[in-house]
Amino acid sequence: MYLWVLGIILVIIVSFMTYLFSTVTSPKIVYIPQGSVFKSIAHLQDEGVNLYKIDAFILRLLGQPQQGWIDLKEEKTSRIEYLYKLTTAKAATRAITLIPGETTVIFLRQLSDELSLDMNLLQRAYEKHAPYKEGSFVPDTYSIPNAISEEKLIIHLLNESEQKMRIWADEYKKPYNKEKWLQIVTKASVIQKEAASLSDMPFVSSVIDNRIEKGMRLQMDGTLNYGEYSHQKVTARRIRTDKTPYNTYKNKGLPAFPVCNVSKDAIHAALYPKHTDYLYFVRGKNGEHVYSSYFSTHHQNIVNATK
């Protein structure tokens, strides 16, 4: 009886040791999200790594997995070494900042230049995976590994952005679905482009609502700062010749898509505008906007701003 039990124990030990030294195949660089050990293992499983629930228990014995990007150096390693590396390895990263109000094409060029990535591949990956033509990224500072493919980077940035937008939608008790959220982001993007300051945003939001309610065109220059035109001055010729849905001098209502990537402040202003009867605004000499409800007053404000 004793030998029989000992034999079973030996079989279990040998089987376990064999399992520990079995091969794990994984990308050299993986991303570990915040959360529990089980969440880390589940995420790696979703990435195609041949891990199992028992690996979560083994990992807990080894320590806490690192969060963020992990550089494993090689694609194939023993299971025990792989799990150990998850607790110790760290990828070399660079900080990339997307500022509020910037357009996606400018951000992609920044990624291409600073990380030596292919702009065309970044653009194709964005078009393939992004829910909207514009406004799918959340402005923030991201830690990006030095060695990552264009498609994986875009997927990561979009996933991070979507998680934050879902949190915002939940905070504001708004449904997060493609059509309704697109309308909110589109309005927020116009606010982001037009507002002179954070405190200015709710007033710009009110002007947008008031002009739409009265059937007036928005006639806002910021909507023409889309895409590659992000930092270009809007001229009278541009207003005449731009035939896109972004031209709010020619088209009523909001543009069909956002004109830039937006901050939470702009989302808040889009949802909670000031209650005013303002229909016009112009940037004053101090850099802040001067608002008015009548065109005659607006005209005088323009004259005063140019004196």
Please write the tens of the pLDDT for every residue from 101-131.
Answer: 999 999 999 999 999 999 999 999 999 999 9
Residue listed under structure tokens 């900042």: 97
Half-sphere exposure of 137 (CA within 13 A, CB side): 28
Query: First-to-last CA distance in the chain?
Result: 104
DSSP assignments along 159-216, one per residue: HHHHHHHHHHHHHTT----HHHHHHHHHHHHHHHHH-SSTTTHHHHHHHHHHHHHTT-
Q: Residue 108's CB: how many other CB atoms inside 10 A?
A: 22
Banded model confidence at residue 1, pLDDT cuts 50, 70, 90: low
Sign of CA dihedral 129, 255, 228, 193: negative
Q: Quick one: average pLDDT of 3-28?
A: 83
Mean pLDDT computed over every residue of the chain: 91
* Alpha carbon separation from 55 to 17, 20, 84, 144, 206 (Å, rounded): 13, 9, 11, 27, 55
- The predicted-structure confidence for 165-210, as pLDDT tens digits, reads as follows 999 999 999 988 888 999 999 999 999 999 989 999 999 999 999 9
| Confidence band, pLDDT 50/70/90 cuts, at residue 2 | low
Q: Quick one: pLDDT at residue 91?
A: 82
pLDDT for res 108: 97
pLDDT for the residue 154: 96
CA distances from 167 to 98, 138, 164, 264 (A): 19, 12, 5, 11
Residue-range domain boundaries for the chain: 12-88, 93-171, 189-306
